[in-house]
Structure 1
Amino acid sequence: MIKGLIFAALTALLITGCSSNTSGIEGGLKPYTKVSNSWLGGQVVLSDYYQRKVGGILQATAKLTNEDSSDQNLQYRFVWFDNEGFPVAEEQQSWQPITLHGNQSIALRATAPTTSVASFKVSVREVND
């Protein structure tokens, strides 16, 4: 009985630890912002999402604002989707480090990896030192 409970607890911990949602905040052109980390969501804001096509390749931008007076060490990444909503070139979507100084706003910019990209989302997470 105890071994079964321990196994169930370890399995739940393993599944939770391997969760694919590691972002604190994410958003995109469809008007939404998802906050998975309430502390980070109170510190930084994602807004002003734009996209355009240049030579058939999608370019995307989003505004990231630090609403706190202290520096924030963060990572961000763009995730690309085709017309049907499927992820494109997932293996190329690595997290990029950024330091956002107190009360600073910056534009995060990226260019899609292929012409099949139709939309995007951008995710931001804190860096745990």
Structure 2
Amino acid sequence: MKYTLPFVAAIMLSACATQPVTSGISVEQSKNTFNEQLHVDNPALGEKLAITDVKTRQTNQLTDVVVTLSSQYKKSQYLQYQFNWYDKDGFVIKGNHSPWQALTLFGFSKTQLPGLAPTPTAVTFSLAVREVSTDAQEFKE
């Protein structure tokens, strides 16, 4: 099953200009089945990415996930991604989100993004993806 990000662009939320703009997905667990729910904050990035697979399993009472991210764009994309974990009531498990990880996604390629819940109480997660600027930064004196 292929889930593309652009079809939900109509319900996107506006982001504050001072914060990085992200596109992401969230996955909810319900009796060992997962329903993908897409959310887009950056329609330009959303058109360039697709989630083509989500796999989960239990490893030592922890939720283990692999999200397959596919490029729908001909050029390389320089990205960062981050998993956030939630308990059964939908509350963020504080202090247990992963750091932003660098990712280069080449034109029309796929990559698998692994995530492991920090505690057994983490039953759902969200994955945020954002672009990294490739413009040279200048330092002014």
Relative to the length of structure 2, the TM-score reads 0.71
Shift of 1:69: 1.3
Match of 2:44 in 1: 39
Deviation string for 1:31-89 (max 9, x for gaps)?
A: 21111111101111123222211110110111100111100000111110111111114
Q: Find the counterpart in structure 1 of residue 27 from structure 2.
A: 28
- Separation in 1 of the partners of 2:91 and 2:38? 19
Q: Name 2:98's counterpart in structure 1.
A: 93
Equivalent position amino acid for 1:28 in 2: V
The unaligned stretches of length 5 or more in structure 2 are: 1-14, 29-34, 135-141
1:65 is aligned to 2:61: no
Q: In structure 2, what is the Cα distance between the partners aligned to 1:80 and 1:47? A: 21
From the CA coordinates, give the structure whose radius of gyration is larger: 1
Q: Say whether the 8 Å CA contact 2:82–2:129 is kept in structure 1.
A: yes
Shift of 1:91: 5.2
Indicate how the Cα distance of structure 1 residues 31 and 17 shifts in structure 2: closer, same or farther if over 3 A, else same: same
State whether residues 25 and 37 of structure 1, in contact with CA within 8 Å, keep that contact through their aligned partners in structure 2.
Answer: no
Aligned length: 114
Further displaced range: 21-30 or 36-45: 21-30
Identity %: 26
Give every structure 1 segment of 4 or more consecutive aligned residues whose post-TM-superposition deviation is greater than 6 Å: none
Q: Which runs of 5+ in 1 are unaligned?
A: 1-14
Partner Cα distance (2:47, 2:18) in 1: 25
Q: How far is 1:90 from its partner?
A: 3.6
1:75 and 1:33 mapped to 2: Cα distance?
Answer: 18
For residues 103-122 of structure 1, what are the structure 2 equivalents within 5 Å? 103-122=108-127
Task: Give the TM-score, by structure 1 length.
Answer: 0.77
SS state of the match for residue 122, structure 2?
coil
CA contact (8 A) 2:21 2:42 kept: no
The letter for the 2-side match of 1:23 is: T
Residue type of the alignment partner of 1:49: V
Aligned Cα root-mean-square deviation (Å)? 2.1
The change in CA–CA distance for 1:104 and 1:39 in structure 2 (over 3 A counts) is: same
| CA–CA separation in structure 2 for the residues paired with 1:70 and 1:17 | 26
